[in-house]
Chain A
Amino acid sequence: MVALTAESRPVLQPFCRLRDDPVRGRVVLLAPERVLFPCGTSQAVLARLDGRPLGEVAADLADRYAAPADVILADALTMLQDLADQGFLAEAGADQGFPKEATP
């Protein structure tokens, strides 16, 4: 996964967890050596990463929040690219656990 586009179908790596944080009263993304505090829109995007193309995710959110889909998509791409570069996203259907096949 290098450059994300509207056609990409990213999902969170199985070793990343999105959960509620009752102490801080917000949603947190837990990943190896990283804790991220996504904002409201980012949370909505992350919660919808189920293997659909990002264009569809953005359209879905545009309906729901009555906001322009291209703006939502652009914001989502920026946020997700950062996560992808840190290795927290995989392309749906790909071998999710490991970025590369281990040589025997």
Chain B
Amino acid sequence: MTASNPPIGLLAEITHRCPLRCPYCSNPLELTRAEAELDAAAWARVLEDAAGLGVLQLHLSGGEPTLRPDLEELVAAARGAGLYVNLITAGVLLDGPRVRRLKAAGLDHVQLSLQDSDVDSADRIGGFKGGHAKKLAAARHLREAGLPITINAVVHRQNLDRIERTVALALDLGAHRLEVAHTQYYGWAFANRAALMPTPEQVDHARRVVDRARADLRGRLVIDYVAPDYYAKYPKPCMGGWGRQVLTIGPDGRTMPCHAAHTIKGLAFDSVKDRPLRWIWQNSPAFEAFRGTDWMQEPCRSCPRKEIDFGGCRCQAMALAGDARATDPACSLSPLHARLHALAREDAATDAPFTYRRMLPKDRLPEAPPALRAVEDA
């Protein structure tokens, strides 16, 4: 067993249900149904355990967390346990009274997603007519209640050309922070990769826009930028290391080192229904699997960056290299890296349609792209 430090953050995906249908959603293809969701009492117990274990921040997410009428109870339980409570929402269900109730329950901060700055495009990407207008109204209610807003803008080929207007919109909505995040290809996003992959020109443009906006808006709007993996030189340090800082609990109580870990075949996830959270964090085989650096293969094993990026993302190694222990192909030292770059360009040149996210039975799930072929093909 590898020694574990206390976790800092908990991502609670309290439901997979969502009125939107974003093709870039990172939820699993097989979504959890409402009947299987943990109830408020179970969540309250888990949140207290999480605080006792050392968790300081709670991110209430989904699906769409505001679909749960007992969200206020969860917020109050979390604040009662001393957690910093962040709500990650699409905002389409937030009217004034609901926002005031959430604020009264102790909500600290809200991350509001925008699909685009153009209303027609935003509604098309979210697959929800009238959604964008509802988000703008939600932002107004949040502001009036004195809740600080971060705008989450997931970007991809179909909205990147309007990124300047998205920055301006975040300012207009009174956000103090904007997260411009290139799509991470997990779950539905992976199945939609060809429809979402940006062109290299769009990626360069986005970088320039963000750099300029950061300089121009210093002191008014903080901009975080999540770089596009497939065009990167080094991979992202996923979750600050597997089982090191954060954990994710799904709607049914299954507890994972990251929100995409369900894509790794062969990992079994313990549930807070069956085991105490502390036991899971310290002993669950899924958490132990990639803790530390002993599991690494070359080139990571002898790489000086292995404590910086931890070999990249295990889920991406699984999806692209077909082996969760491999070097993340986003790394330029991976033998699959050249193939990945070529693939990104190929994807970006297609006009693939969206496959909208929805609840489907197991035998009708959309197909995900295959792993990359061996390096000889590159």
Contacts and interface: CB of A to CB of B under 8 A. Distances in A.
Interface residues of B, number: 32
Nearest to B139: A102
A35 interface: yes
Contacts of B52: 23
Contacts of B174: 98, 100-102
Interface string B124-150: 000000000000000010010010101
Nearest to B148: A15
B24 to A, nearest CB: 20
Interface of B: 6, 8-9, 52-54, 56-57, 82, 84, 86, 108-109, 111, 140, 143, 146, 148, 150, 171-174, 176-177, 179, 218-222, 224
Interface of A: 1-2, 13-15, 17, 19, 21, 23-24, 28, 30-33, 35, 84-87, 97-103
15 contacts: A1-B219, A13-B148, A14-B146, A15-B109, A15-B148, A19-B82, A23-B53, A32-B86, A32-B109, A32-B150, A33-B86, A33-B150, A87-B219, A87-B221, A102-B143
Contacts of B176: 13, 15, 32, 87, 98-99
Contact of B148 (A30, A32, A85, A103): A32
B84 A30 contact: yes
Given A1-B219, A17-B84, A99-B219, A32 B177 contact: yes
A36 to B, nearest CB: 10
B148 A97 contact: yes
B349 to A, nearest CB: 34
